[in-house]
Amino acid sequence: MDFKNKVVLVTGGARGIGKAVAKIFLERGAKVSICDINIEEGAKTLQEFKEKFDENNVIFSQCDVSKDEDFEAVYNECENQFNGLDILVNNAGILHKDLKKMEAVNFVRI
């Protein structure tokens, strides 16, 4: 599938599944914004992708997706750098040690 010039935001994109998804979109011609809470991993992933793909097609922003103001800033960065957003991959999440004991209100946050 061709994603040429589509703008993709991948939350939790610095490592693991999010990183793999971001790479696939870049391979298929998309412009990708990676956000992750881990700035060190994000910087490494950004550098890796800039060396392999067009450096103008990938950006990184530190973001805690549980904070509305962080996510709004990442969205605005997509608008500023890539003139929009076409696809959101909501990969980041909040991990609780015991899902059985988690309060129902916290499922909304996930």
98: pLDDT strictly greater than 70: no
Q: What is the mean pLDDT of the chain?
A: 89
- The alpha carbon of 13 is separated from its chain's Cα centroid by a whole number of angstroms, namely 4
The whole-number average pLDDT for the span 74-102 is 83
Q: 100: pLDDT confidence band, cut at 50, 70 and 90?
A: low
Q: 105: pLDDT confidence band, cut at 50, 70 and 90?
A: very low
The whole-number average pLDDT for the span 63-77 is 92
Pick the CATH number of 7-90 from 3.40.50.10800, 3.40.50.720, 3.40.960.10, 3.40.50.300: 3.40.50.720
For 51-81, give one letter per residue: b (16+ CB within 10 A) or e. eebeeebbbbbbbebeeeebbeebbebbeeb
16 Rama sector, left if φ>0, alpha if ψ -120 to 50, beta otherwise: left
The whole-number average pLDDT for the span 55-72 is 93
12 Rama sector, left if φ>0, alpha if ψ -120 to 50, beta otherwise: left
